[in-house]
Amino acid sequence: QVQLVESGGGLVPTGDSLRLSCAASGQTFSNYVMGWFRQAPGKEREFVAAIRWSGGSTDYVDSVKGRFTIYRDKALNTVYLQMNSLKPEETAVYYCAARKFDIYRNPQMYDYWGQGTKVTVSS
Protein backbone atom coordinates (compact mmCIF):
# COMPACT_ATOMS: atom_id res chain seq x y z
CA GLN A 1 0.00 0.00 0.00
CA VAL A 2 1.41 3.34 -1.06
CA GLN A 3 1.76 5.92 1.67
CA LEU A 4 2.56 9.56 1.07
CA VAL A 5 3.43 11.98 3.84
CA GLU A 6 3.84 15.68 3.10
CA SER A 7 5.70 18.21 5.19
CA GLY A 8 7.20 21.65 4.89
CA GLY A 9 4.20 23.92 4.79
CA GLY A 10 3.96 27.08 6.82
CA LEU A 11 3.29 30.81 6.91
CA VAL A 12 5.55 32.97 4.77
CA PRO A 13 5.42 36.55 3.46
CA THR A 14 4.87 37.37 -0.20
CA GLY A 15 7.96 36.69 -2.26
CA ASP A 16 9.42 34.19 0.14
CA SER A 17 10.26 30.52 -0.50
CA LEU A 18 9.23 27.15 0.87
CA ARG A 19 10.24 23.60 0.12
CA LEU A 20 7.61 20.93 0.46
CA SER A 21 8.55 17.29 0.90
CA CYS A 22 6.61 14.14 0.13
CA ALA A 23 7.99 10.95 1.65
CA ALA A 24 6.75 7.90 -0.24
CA SER A 25 6.69 4.31 0.97
CA GLY A 26 5.03 0.98 0.32
CA GLN A 27 6.09 0.41 -3.26
CA THR A 28 8.92 0.48 -5.70
CA PHE A 29 8.23 3.72 -7.46
CA SER A 30 10.16 3.24 -10.67
CA ASN A 31 6.94 3.18 -12.76
CA TYR A 32 5.23 5.95 -10.87
CA VAL A 33 4.42 9.58 -11.47
CA MET A 34 4.42 11.85 -8.44
CA GLY A 35 2.33 14.99 -8.52
CA TRP A 36 1.74 18.07 -6.43
CA PHE A 37 -1.71 19.61 -6.28
CA ARG A 38 -3.19 22.44 -4.26
CA GLN A 39 -6.62 23.34 -3.01
CA ALA A 40 -7.56 26.79 -1.79
CA PRO A 41 -10.65 27.33 0.37
CA GLY A 42 -13.78 27.12 -1.72
CA LYS A 43 -11.90 26.11 -4.85
CA GLU A 44 -11.28 22.89 -6.70
CA ARG A 45 -8.08 20.97 -6.34
CA GLU A 46 -5.67 22.02 -9.06
CA PHE A 47 -2.54 20.59 -10.61
CA VAL A 48 0.76 22.26 -9.78
CA ALA A 49 3.55 19.97 -10.98
CA ALA A 50 4.43 16.35 -11.62
CA ILE A 51 7.52 14.23 -12.21
CA ARG A 52 8.16 10.77 -13.54
CA TRP A 53 10.10 8.80 -10.99
CA SER A 54 12.21 7.17 -13.69
CA GLY A 55 13.72 9.58 -16.13
CA GLY A 56 12.68 12.65 -14.20
CA SER A 57 10.56 14.33 -16.87
CA THR A 58 8.38 17.06 -15.44
CA ASP A 59 5.26 19.10 -16.09
CA TYR A 60 4.17 22.38 -14.52
CA VAL A 61 1.09 24.52 -14.60
CA ASP A 62 1.94 27.73 -16.43
CA SER A 63 1.44 29.96 -13.40
CA VAL A 64 4.36 28.37 -11.52
CA LYS A 65 6.85 27.86 -14.34
CA GLY A 66 10.15 29.51 -13.54
CA ARG A 67 9.31 29.77 -9.83
CA PHE A 68 8.57 26.20 -8.70
CA THR A 69 10.76 23.15 -9.17
CA ILE A 70 9.74 19.55 -8.63
CA TYR A 71 12.48 16.99 -8.11
CA ARG A 72 13.01 13.64 -6.44
CA ASP A 73 15.63 11.95 -4.34
CA LYS A 74 15.51 8.28 -5.23
CA ALA A 75 17.64 7.24 -2.28
CA LEU A 76 15.24 8.86 0.16
CA ASN A 77 12.06 8.00 -1.79
CA THR A 78 11.11 11.63 -1.45
CA VAL A 79 9.70 14.16 -3.88
CA TYR A 80 10.17 17.87 -3.30
CA LEU A 81 8.48 21.01 -4.47
CA GLN A 82 10.71 24.04 -4.21
CA MET A 83 8.50 27.12 -4.32
CA ASN A 84 10.04 30.54 -4.84
CA SER A 85 8.52 34.01 -5.12
CA LEU A 86 5.32 32.87 -3.49
CA LYS A 87 2.15 34.89 -3.97
CA PRO A 88 -0.83 35.33 -1.63
CA GLU A 89 -3.12 33.63 -4.15
CA GLU A 90 -1.04 30.49 -3.75
CA THR A 91 -2.27 30.05 -0.23
CA ALA A 92 -3.70 26.53 -0.16
CA VAL A 93 -3.36 23.03 1.17
CA TYR A 94 -0.76 21.30 -0.96
CA TYR A 95 -1.15 17.59 -1.63
CA CYS A 96 1.23 14.98 -2.93
CA ALA A 97 -0.25 12.28 -5.16
CA ALA A 98 0.92 9.21 -7.05
CA ARG A 99 -0.17 7.17 -10.03
CA LYS A 100 1.50 4.75 -12.42
CA PHE A 101 3.11 5.49 -15.76
CA ASP A 102 1.83 8.74 -17.29
CA ILE A 103 1.63 12.33 -16.14
CA TYR A 104 -1.90 13.71 -15.95
CA ARG A 105 -3.08 17.07 -14.69
CA ASN A 106 -6.50 15.77 -13.67
CA PRO A 107 -6.46 14.93 -9.94
CA GLN A 108 -9.02 12.19 -10.51
CA MET A 109 -6.36 10.23 -12.39
CA TYR A 110 -4.22 9.84 -9.27
CA ASP A 111 -4.65 6.80 -7.05
CA TYR A 112 -2.82 7.72 -3.87
CA TRP A 113 -2.86 10.92 -1.84
CA GLY A 114 -1.15 12.34 1.17
CA GLN A 115 -2.90 14.22 3.94
CA GLY A 116 -1.76 17.63 2.72
CA THR A 117 0.35 20.41 4.13
CA LYS A 118 -0.92 23.96 4.50
CA VAL A 119 0.86 26.88 2.86
CA THR A 120 -0.15 30.41 3.78
CA VAL A 121 1.37 33.37 1.95
CA SER A 122 0.72 36.65 3.70
CA SER A 123 0.29 39.87 1.72
Q: Look at residue 97 in the predicted model and tell me its pLDDT.
A: 98
| pLDDT tens, position by position, 20-39 | 999 999 988 989 999 999 99
Q: Look at residue 71 in the predicted model and tell me its pLDDT.
A: 98
Is 116:72 a contact under the CB 8 Å cutoff? no
Residue 86: phi, psi to the nearest 5?
-65, 150
* Mean pLDDT, residues 74-99 taken together: 97
Is 90:1 a contact under the CB 8 Å cutoff? no
Average pLDDT, the chain: 97
77: three-class secondary structure by DSSP: coil
Residue 90: closest CA among 17, 40, 25, 43: 40
19 has pLDDT over 90? yes
| pLDDT tens, position by position, 92-108 | 999 999 999 999 999 99
55 has pLDDT over 90? no
